[in-house]
Amino acid sequence: METFGARLHRAVTERGPLCVGIDPHPGLLARWGLPDDVTGLDRFARTVVEALGDRVAVIKPQSAFFERFGARGVEILESTIRQLRDSGSLVLLDVKRGDIGSTVAAYAAAYLDPSSPLYVDAVTASPYLGVGSLAPMFELAAAHGGGVFVLALTSNPEGAAVQRARAADGRTVAQTVIDEISQLNAGAEPLGSFGLVVGATIGDTGHDLSAVNGPLLSPGLGAQGATPADLRLVFGSSLPTVLPSYSREVLGAGPDVDALRAAADRALADCRAALAAR
């Protein structure tokens, strides 16, 4: 079985380093001329799949924007995941789950067990009940070639107070998360399956990402103010494993399919140039 790290490495080699989110904000539905209901949600998600599913390496549905419509929204999320899987892009579900280990096992079954209707290639997870509490997710992901992206240094300004607080041994909370994920990826080739979320907005924080050996998902580009040029400052020598992520900046070009493709192509070209610059 091919690991998630290997599948992601291949997808990025073939399609380029880009993740695009499906975030059907009420404001975006309105801009696309769609109603703020499940029919609008369905049309929005289908349009993104049609435009980008066959060309972007990773597509990241944001679960919250589907969940807000209840069971019918989740049904559309299931359908969107199926369409994305058929289109060839990897599906990273942004759900930021985390809990005590026995409950994490149920989240793992929901998203990382191939028999689940919400089965995806990878999920985002929150480490604030302890990275060890996420073990059932790591285990099920490893068993089925899936991946987990753990929040380390998030793109929002409020994150720093928690993530940059010092633990008893003097490391920041974020650095302890980074170090634990690095251990999980030790020796993996060509890339580990356990990633971190590190926002493009955070600047040079002095955290050591050199041993992660896994993907570094970087949201915060575009609508939150970061530019591809900021990636160098944030990631330094870890740039080769960065997966830049855009939602509103690309989605704002819709609903025209060609315009969405052009926006994603522009984002990819800008990120490629920034990641390659010396």
The C-alpha torsion from 140 through 151 and 2 to 268, rounded to 10°, is 150
Smallest gap from residue 278 Cβ to ligand LLZGTKA7 (A): 27
Nearer to ligand LLZGTKA7, 11 or 200 (CB): 200
Question: 191 vs 226, which CB is nearer to ligand LLZGTKA7?
Answer: 226
- Catalytic residue flag (residue 96): yes
The nearer residue to ligand LLZGTKA7, 190 or 225, going by C-beta atoms, is: 225
Question: Chain centroid to CA 165: how far?
Answer: 24
State the CB neighbour count (10 A cutoff) for residue 153: 26
User: What are the beta bridge partners of residue 27?
Assistant: none
| Strand intervals (E) in 62-202 | 90-97, 122-125, 147-153, 194-198
What are phi and psi for residue 251, nearest 5 degrees?
-60, -30
Residues 6+ apart with CB under 8 A from 108: 136, 137, 139, 140, 141
The site for ligand LLZGTKA7 (CB under 6 A) is made up of 21, 23, 62, 94, 154-155, 197, 199, 219-220, 222-224, 245-249
Question: From CA 54, how far away is CA 61, in angstroms rounded?
Answer: 15
Cβ 1 to ligand LLZGTKA7 shortest distance, Å? 28
Active-site choice (9, 55, 96, 261): 96
- Residue 21 or 192: the one with the smaller Cβ distance to ligand LLZGTKA7 is 21
Structure tokens at 277: 């610059």
- Is 225 in a helix, a strand, or coil? coil
- Min separation Cβ 179 and ligand LLZGTKA7, Å: 19
Closest CA relative to residue 105, chosen from 97, 94, 95: 97
Q: Minimum CB separation from ligand LLZGTKA7 for residue 248, in Å?
A: 3
Catalytic residues: 96
